[in-house]
Amino acid sequence: MHALIVMLQESGDKGGGNILTPNGGLMVWTIVIFLILLFVLSRYAFKPITAAVQAREKALEDAIEGAKRDRDEAAKLLDEQRKNLEASRDEGQKIVASARAAAEEVRQSMLEAARQQQTEIIEKARTDISRERDAAIAELRREAVDLAILGASKVIEKNLDDKSNRELIDKFLSSLDANSITR
């Protein structure tokens, strides 16, 4: 290489310094060096560089394909998640609706139970009132009998047998209409 440089310098000194002037020796050596360099580069440099470029292209293509697959898979997963979310919302709405229906059913059963209790209480109150009324009427009858006996004994001035008097008055009162007494 060093000899080539020296030779180039010597040939440059002889040519008068004009670069555009053709020099046969320089052209031959330039072509020879070019062919040697081309042979060495093609043998040892171009194949590894080409292989590296092809490997790089393959890696980029694989990365692009992988990105496409990942994007498609992500789109599918997103779609699936949206469907799951919508299904969850629907299920939640169904649960809320069933809870409302159950609450309404419980409310209705509680209202029905309250109505039934109210009816039972009213019926019991009517029964109690009727029993108390009958007891009050019976008490009034006893008092009326006592008063009648007392009045009759005053009029007669004689105390008749208490038991027979009561039977007589009870017969009389029972012969009367019950409605005329309650009025």
140 and 146 Cβ atoms separated by less than 8 Å: no
Using alpha carbons, select from 67, 63, 90, 87 the residue that is nearest to residue 79: 87
Tokens representing 76 are: 């599918």
CA distances from 183 to 145, 167, 179 (A): 18, 24, 6
CA–CA distance, 8 with 160 (Å, rounded to integer):
179
Mean pLDDT by 10 residues, the chain (183 residues): 63 59 87 94 87 94 95 95 94 94 94 94 93 89 79 62 73 67 53
* pTM of the model as a whole: 0.38
Domain that holds residue 168: 2-182
- Number of domains into which the chain is organized: 1
DSSP label at 44? Answer: I
DSSP label at 139? Answer: H
